[in-house]
Amino acid sequence: MPTRIVKRTAKLADGRDLIYYDDADTRLGPERRIDTRRLDPRPPTAVMRQDVLTGEWVSIAAARQARVVLPPADRDPLAPQTPDNPSEIPDQYDVAVFENRSPSFGPALPGEVTGEPPAPAGLGDIADIGFGRERVAVGRCEVVCFSPAHEGAFGDLTPSRARTVIEAWADRTAELSALPGVQQVFPFENRGKAIGVTLPHPHGQIYAYPYVTPRTARVLDSVRRLGPDLFERVLDSERAGGRVVLAGEWWTAFVPFAARWPIEVHLLPHRQIPDLAATDEAERDELATLYLRLLRGIDALYDDPTPYIAAWHQAPVHTGRDSVRLHLQLTSIRRGADKIKYLAGSESAMGAFIADIPPDAAAARIRDAVASVPMPVHP
């Protein structure tokens, strides 16, 4: 942890981990109030079932049905606690990370599972296929609060705060990757009601999966077929083409050749890095301002904020570390000022996408929008 960003660990009333990350220019003191709530026991760890037709695993996490949906500001569960709002975070904060109370994966880890169904017994067990296969959905799910504000998104942050969030992502990636049974770590942000967001509070999540996700498995197959330098070749091809929308010394953002979504931008580092934990200080510093400018450019496309999913694809914990490159995939279902691309029959049922907007045309619009946004500058 860089000396200018301070990490402070704590526990919530039911034993869940809570981690504070204080900005380099924080105005907060070192002390934090403890969580004194009386909480019910956490729900049991979910069970996942295998689809015998595809081999994919589905977590059955019924406790998620009890999530709070679009609460008023005085009942925001991610705001600092007040006498009238017994929220999840007991004190003021810059950035806070805590274990999800009703996670899709975890909190149990493999050595903590007894009885049936069992925990996954490694990648070989996960890769097997058969009828009626069930496993405990071990792993971890965490919430990353970008700010104590009730509404907003990553693009609304200051460069200093953005840098703190990036530090939190990198630190949590390293910590979660070290947990037994975790095969892949996925930080992401959902933004906007059109995406299905249930809390307007500026936040993201991190999933630590007990398997390698289906998309990453397909990427690994492409690497096996085309070579371990696949991402280097992709980046070289895109930088030589006409779909780059933003570039710096360490990162390049572009609309991919076969973009599926009306708005889709990939952001890649210029060297082979498996995950955020492997980035260096210079890469994290540049990312804080470059990423803010990209998100603000996406918002500048229309008169109101753009709904999106910001997905940080990272290499699996135990495979593909020298060939699968960290990259952001920013996508939006928005195909016009008042038009949404819904996933209908071909996309939802068959996984066969039909693009509404040519990627080259989308790149030109996004590039112009990004160019209209000034580069965020640290104070």
144 three-state secondary structure:
strand
The count of other CB atoms within 10 Å of the CB of residue 321 is 15
User: What whole-number distance in Å separates Cα of residue 62 and Cα of residue 40?
Assistant: 17
Positive or negative torsion for Cα 240, 241, 242, 245? negative
103 prior amide bond cis, ω within 30: no
Which listed residue (201, 203, 266, 313) is catalytic? 203
What is the enclosing helix (H) or strand (E) of 328? Answer: strand 327-332
The count of other CB atoms within 10 Å of the CB of residue 74 is 10
Compute CA distances 137 → 43, 118, 132, whole Å: 13, 9, 15
Q: Which residues pair with 334 in a beta bridge?
A: 340
For the chain, which ranges sit under pLDDT 70? 1-3, 378-379
User: What whole-number distance in Å separates Cα of residue 61 and Cα of residue 104?
Assistant: 5
Taking only the tens place, the pLDDT of each residue in 118-165 is 999 999 999 999 999 999 999 999 999 999 999 999 999 999 999 999
65 DSSP assignment: G
Cβ partners under 8 Å of residue 289, min gap 6: 159, 162, 375, 376, 377, 378
Question: What integer pLDDT is reported at residue 2 of this predicted model?
Answer: 60
Q: Where are the alpha helices (DSSP H) in the chain?
A: 123-127, 159-177, 214-226, 230-240, 281-299, 350, 359-371
| Domains within the chain, CATH numbers bracketed | 6-211 (3.30.428.10), 216-371 (3.30.428.10)
Would you call 203 a catalytic residue per the annotation? yes
Angle between helices 281-299 and 159-177 (to 10 degrees): 120
Both tokens of residue 299? 């918002």
107 prior amide bond cis, ω within 30: yes
CA-wise closest residue to 92 among 30, 145, 28, 142: 28
* Angle formed at CA 287 by CA 282 and CA 289, multiple of 5 degrees: 110
User: What whole-number distance in Å separates Cα of residue 20 and Cα of residue 26?
Assistant: 12
Question: What integer pLDDT is reported at residue 14 of this predicted model?
Answer: 96
301 three-state secondary structure:
coil
Question: What integer pLDDT is reported at residue 146 of this predicted model?
Answer: 98
Question: What integer pLDDT is reported at residue 342 of this predicted model?
Answer: 87
Both tokens of residue 84? 């009238």
166 phi and psi angles, rounded to 5 deg: -60, -40
Cβ partners under 8 Å of residue 340, min gap 6: 194, 333, 334
Report which residue type is found at 288.
A
Cβ partners under 8 Å of residue 324, min gap 6: 216, 219, 220, 223, 231, 274, 313, 314, 315, 316
Question: What integer pLDDT is reported at residue 69 of this predicted model?
Answer: 81
Cβ partners under 8 Å of residue 154, min gap 6: 146, 162, 165, 189, 191, 202, 204, 291, 292, 295, 310
311 phi and psi angles, rounded to 5 deg: -115, 120
